[in-house]
Structure 1
Amino acid sequence: MPTDRPQPLSDADWPEAARALREGFAGQLNVYRVMAHHPGLLNAWAPLRAHVVKNSALGPDRSEVVILRTAHRFGSDYEWAHHVSRARKLGFPDARIAALRGMPEGEDGLIARAVDALIDDRRLSPELDAELAAALGRKGVFDLIATVGFYSVLGYILMSFDTPVDDAIAAEMKTNPLDPVT
């Protein structure tokens, strides 16, 4: 394996051009410490991240469903572990999280079908779009699409560079693995 593949940057190696982001979200996670190898991209990423992660019309619960399904479909262990942790903090039972590896019922199933359509077909059918708009609102549909795109790009970065799961999340998953039967 090549040794020049980007690894998470230490604080000492952090680029000056992205210094302001290190103390915020970017310095907290390995994915952004890898992205810091390209400070221009990381700086451009920050405003979109603020919308997708903090201000989405989906709200935190629906966003987690979108992210978990996207992580599952991409096979991204990093995003899956990080968002299992986040979903648990939001109060998701393990059974709800585990169900996103299959086809859950109800609104989670609708969202999972939408994520699958975007990944497999690169579009929402008119029928699925109408169903989503009725459930999530038009802004919610746009934010669902943007969230899948956002986490797809992160998945490409994470998996291309074998980004390690952050230590605290890895420890949490080791001591409290996802129980699919809860």
Structure 2
Amino acid sequence: MTTSPYPPITDEDWPSEIADMKPGFAGALNVYRTMAHHPALLRAWAPLRQHIVKESALGAVRSELVILRTAHRMGSAYEWTHHVIRARVLGISDDRIRGISGTPEGEDGLLAQAVDALIDDARLPPHLERAMSATLGKQAVFDLMATVGFYSVLGFILMTFDTPIDENVAAEIASRPI
């Protein structure tokens, strides 16, 4: 039970101005049900979410690794747990998932270094940006920065308002811990 001043909004209390969003992504997860306390923000969030989650030049696997590293660095249990499940669906092994929270090597290491630089220094140093561009391409570098920023904001919301992990995700991770 959350003690949040802004717990996830129930179906009964869903704001009428975003009624069209409830059957989609916004009604599916507690993070967006929490954001529904600010309907205009949730509506504005949707197009960026579409790009970050569905259309990123990073591709699905790299995106999940970036999200997991961001969640780990922020200490966001909600995002970490949700994205462990999503990473598994993509075929990412538990060893690789655990590795992204440590000091991975190769491309995973490059992704982790980039996330760390953005969180620690609010920028990619030139040598890391060049390595990222050469490995992933220019657009993927932009999408990596946008992904870290996007999931940092979600982490701020989740941790500030103590948003509970969705029951189905909590049950799945309990039955198959990382």
Range class of TM-score, shorter chain: over 0.9
Gaps of 5+ in 1: none
The within-5 A match list for 1:15-164 is 15-164=15-164
Are 2:167 and 1:167 aligned? yes
What displacement does 1:3 show? 5.6
Runs (4 or more) in structure 1 with deviation over 2 Å come to none
The more displaced of 13-22 and 26-35 is 13-22
Gaps of 5+ in 2: none
Separation (CA, whole Å) in 2 of partners of 1:172 and 1:5: 27
The more displaced of 113-122 and 17-26 is 17-26
Separation (CA, whole Å) in 2 of partners of 1:4 and 1:120: 28
What displacement does 1:4 show? 6.3
SS in structure 1 at match of 2:92: coil
Separation (CA, whole Å) in 2 of partners of 1:148 and 1:70: 6
CA deviation map 1:121-142 (0-9, x unaligned): 0000010000000011000000
Separation (CA, whole Å) in 1 of partners of 2:81 and 2:69: 12
What root-mean-square deviation, in Å, do the aligned CA atoms of Structure 1 and Structure 2 show? 1.1
Separation (CA, whole Å) in 2 of partners of 1:61 and 1:101: 15
CA deviation map 1:130-177 (0-9, x unaligned): 000001100000000000000000000000000000000000111100
SS in structure 1 at match of 2:9: coil
Counterpart residue type for residue 12 of structure 1: E
Counterpart residue type for residue 8 of structure 2: P
CA deviation map 1:74-109 (0-9, x unaligned): 000000000000000000110000001101111011
Separation (CA, whole Å) in 1 of partners of 2:95 and 2:105: 12
Give the TM-score, by structure 2 length: 0.98
Corresponding residue of 1:8: 8
Separation (CA, whole Å) in 1 of partners of 2:144 and 2:55: 12
Percent sequence identity over aligned pairs? 63
Give the TM-score, by structure 1 length: 0.96
Separation (CA, whole Å) in 2 of partners of 1:174 and 1:137: 38
Decide whether aligned partners of structure 1 residues 26 and 88 sit closer, same or farther in structure 2, where only a CA change above 3 A counts: same
Decide whether aligned partners of structure 1 residues 35 and 87 sit closer, same or farther in structure 2, where only a CA change above 3 A counts: same
Decide whether aligned partners of structure 1 residues 3 and 107 sit closer, same or farther in structure 2, where only a CA change above 3 A counts: closer
Decide whether aligned partners of structure 1 residues 4 and 150 sit closer, same or farther in structure 2, where only a CA change above 3 A counts: closer
What displacement does 1:18 show? 1.1
Counterpart residue type for residue 107 of structure 2: E
Decide whether aligned partners of structure 1 residues 88 and 145 sit closer, same or farther in structure 2, where only a CA change above 3 A counts: same
